[in-house]
Amino acid sequence: MTDLRDESGTAVRPFSDTLVIGAGPGGLAVAAELGRRGIGATVLERDTAVGSSWRRHYERLHLHTPRRLSQLPGYAMPRSYGRWVARADVVEHLERYAAHHRIDVRTETPVLRIARADGVAGGARWAVHTADGPHFARTVVVATGHNHTPYVPDWPGRESFTGELLHAADYRVPAPFAGRDVLVVGVGNTGAEIAVDLAEGGARRVRIAVRTPPHIVRRSTGGMSAQATGILVRHLPTGLVDRVSRINARLTVPDLAEYGLPRPSDGLYTRIKRDDAIPLQDVGFIDAVVRGAVEVVAAPTGFDGAKVLLADGTGIDPDVVVVAVGYRRALEGLVGDLGVLRPDGRPSVHGPVCPPGAPGLYFTGFTNPISGMFRELAIDARRIARAVNRAT
């Protein structure tokens, strides 16, 4: 990062060829690919270290995609990590990745907003505002992540709940919940895996609240990962993928209707495209449900003191509620006034394409691909770096 100077030659503002917002896997991959092309890039990270979201995830977590298909460009994960890479190993790899590529990461630098740098000399197009003042750049890549801000629904009576309520982002290990009655809200991959973790870790009772039954797939079938299957079918017609996945589910996943999880009526790929909802990969959840270690209940509609009210008209009295209904991208405060977001808060474009009227502004990591997040981040990084290189 150099300085932008006024007419007298006095340094007045930090200036960089490219600023990358976020030091997760997406931001680091973009910075590495830019550096490989000789383009200076500085990464601004709100937290104290790279890979902050991975540092906060629950300890049981492993990548649901095989190591071989989860490589970031320019520095491979070691074989010693195994096929399904553990959370701690992902963090270690991101640290090594940043060091290997000598990426300039400025930690504890949260970005408040991004604005057009109208009237600023020196080739700057964007002003990236931080608590330390604005940083100027020709190019900005936003890589703050799909899972940025934990989301807890504003259920009626939530503030009156006398038990413990926490978001899945604050869950680490099952030990603090041993002997307690826990309700997990949300049956995505995070909620299902936390429920299994609690059941195996000594919780007295574990229930999982389900609003919409998920599509469930095996993480690996006949040695072939679900990700590899996703890569093969992602460009096929939606209806065809729905039909094939329905047949595959009948062959590989038992009917869980009697346990409160009927097979979904809509197609797997239809739901991905319509709702951005990837399938639940089984890493012990099916067995836990069949054994009764995890009980399925209806979705919550509100709270009343110690009671959680459910959509089927019943109520339960858990000691703890773990909310695993997802995150918000929280881009509105960052770029909401630039006209670059869709109504649902996602960027209007991603990868190597800039939004109309916003040259030099790129987004990565805001999709939920069936073909694997790390793989798509690596592809995005290469494409963005090529686009930036062409534009310089």
Q: pLDDT digit string (tens) for 191-239?
A: 999 999 999 999 999 999 999 999 999 999 888 999 999 999 888 999 9
Q: Which two tokens stand for residue 79?
A: 């074989």
Q: Is the pLDDT of residue 93 over 50?
A: yes
Torsion, Cα of 266, 271, 274, 276 (10° steps): 160
What is 151-326's CATH number? 3.50.50.60
Each residue's pLDDT tens digit, 370-388: 889 999 999 999 999 999 9
d(CA 34, CA 360): 14
Q: Is the pLDDT of residue 189 over 50?
A: yes
Average pLDDT, whole number, for the chain? 92
pLDDT of residue 9: 47
Domain ranges of the chain: 2-148+329-391, 151-326
At residue 77's C-alpha, the angle toward residues 390 and 218, to 5°, is 105
- The string of DSSP letters for 274-310 reads HH--PPEEESSHHHHHHHTSSEEEEPEEEEETTEEEE
Confidence category of residue 119, pLDDT binned at 50, 70, 90: low
In degrees and rounded to multiples of 5, residue 330 shows phi and psi of 55, 45
Confidence category of residue 120, pLDDT binned at 50, 70, 90: low
What is 2-148+329-391's CATH number? 3.50.50.60
Q: Which amino acid is at 288?
A: A
Q: Which amino acid is at 113?
A: R
pLDDT of residue 7: 43
State if pTM tops 0.85: yes
pLDDT of residue 187: 95
Q: Is the pLDDT of residue 15 over 80?
A: no
